[in-house]
Every structure is written in structure tokens, then in C-alpha cells.
Amino acid sequence: MNFKKPNLVEYKNGVFEVIKVVNGYKLVIESKRQMTYIHENYSQFYELYSHTHFAHGHVIASGLGFLLREIMLLENPNVSRIQVLEKSSELIEYHNTYNRDIMEKLEIVNCDANEFVGSCDTFLMDHLEFSNFVETFIKCLQNIKCTTSWFWPIELCCPNYEKYSQLCLSVATLPKLQRLEYEMLLEIFKRRKGGTWEEDDE
């Protein structure tokens, strides 16, 4: 993967922090780690690969993070429009300052993604509710109409094809995948450090 890297610098503004760690940066909002970016490899890009794999047309994506998914979406020729739902005005301000070239290509909506109402071709969820990923995903889909949907970390919630197939019975907009394709996505996701979202920060 050869994607543009986000410009990250240490920053602190109230409840929002970008903290430098040994091999990269971590994002902390309201004392909760939202994500870690290790700049020596592509681990977080692999983790988000499935999002851009399915994305097409008008995309609504929740959670701005470090712009990794957005960078990949901007490189996807099947994507025509990208709206990003982000609750933290501080994070939006940070990226407007340090990554304006990327932000200018996105439509940022400062809102709670759980309450946003809209429609699109592809809905991609990546705003943390920790233990309630599937529940939050289904709740968002009641407000956001789409033909295709996906969420982070579906690969951890559905660690095999059988579990993914079961989830598809409850969520009609999930892609109807053959076993080989889903297992390929699982393998790509596992290329990130340890295949788990609980990474070592230091």
C-alpha cells in the first residue's frame, strides 16, 4: 500500500489529545484512546482496507480519526462523494490546521453520528462504542439509508465466514460475500499488529 500519510503532530486542547508514542501517535478524546497510528508500517491501513474495498458512489463515513480511511477513499475511483460525520469539533479543527489539503476534499459534518439522518450509496461506521459495535451499527442504519454498509471492526466481531453470514441475515445492506472473499478480508485485517484493536501504545 502506497498511500499519502497524514500530517500528525502532538496536540492538546481540553479533552482532545494527539500523543506521540515510540513508533507513532495515539488519539485520545475524553480520556479514551480512539486509535493508534504506527508510522513505520501500514498496519492501520490494512485494518481499514475493507472499508474502501466496498465503497462506491456517495459515501457517508462516521469517525474522522487520523484520516487513514479517508485517504484511501479519496484514491478509490468508485467513490464520487465523501461525507464524514465527526462529533469532536476539536479533532475537526486539528485536521483543518494540519491536513487542510485532505480536509478540503471531504464534506465534514460536525454531529453525533448516532443521531444523523441521511442517505447514501455506502455507509461506513467507525466511531467507537466499544462493546456495542453491532448494536450501534444497526441503530445508525435506521437513520441512514444506503445500499451497502460496513463497520469497524466487523472482522473482529465476525472472526469467521459463518458468523458473518449470520450477521447478514440481520443487516440486509452488508455485502453478500463468498467465503473466499471474506476470508481474504480477514487475512488483510490480521496484517495489523496482532489482529486486535488493543495495541501496545508505548
Does residue 115 form part of some domain? yes
**Reported confidence tier of residue 36, pLDDT bands at 50, 70, 90:** confident
Locate all alpha helices (DSSP H) within the chain, ordered by sequence: 43-47, 49-54, 68-74, 89-98, 100-103, 133-143, 154-157, 161-170, 179-189
Q: What is the pLDDT of residues 126-183, one digit of tens each?
A: 987 556 899 999 999 999 999 999 999 999 999 999 999 999 999 999 999 999 999 9
| 57-100: pLDDT as tens digits | 999 999 999 999 999 999 999 999 999 999 999 999 999 999 99
* Residue pLDDT, tens place only, 179-191: 999 999 999 998 7
Quick one: DSSP state of residue 39? T
The parent domain of residue 73 ranges over 47-191
The domain that holds 132 is classified in CATH as: 3.40.50.150
Closest to 120 (Cα-Cα) out of 55, 68, 75, 170: 55
Looking at the structure of the chain, the number of domains it has is 1
Sequence-separated (6 or more) residues with CB below 8 Å from residue 51: 61, 69, 72, 73, 124, 126, 150, 152
| Residue 202 reports pLDDT greater than 50 | no
Report yes or no on 112 lying in a domain.
Answer: yes
- Taken in order 131, 132, 137, 140, the sign of the CA dihedral is negative
pLDDT score, position 144: 98
- Evaluate whether residue 98 is within a structural domain: yes
Nearest to 34 by CA among 43, 42, 25: 25
Read off φ and ψ for residue 67, nearest 5 degrees.
70, 15
Q: What are phi and psi of 187, to 5 degrees?
A: -65, -40
Structural domain contains residue 65: yes
- Please report whether residue 16 resides in a domain: no
Q: Are 43 and 23 spatial neighbours (Cβ–Cβ below 8 Å)?
A: no
In a domain, 7, yes or no: no
pLDDT at position 42 over 80? no
Distances (CA, A) of 94 to 32, 61, 88, 98: 17, 18, 10, 6
Percent of the chain with pLDDT over 70: 90
pTM of the model: 0.91
Which pLDDT value is given to residue 196?
Answer: 39
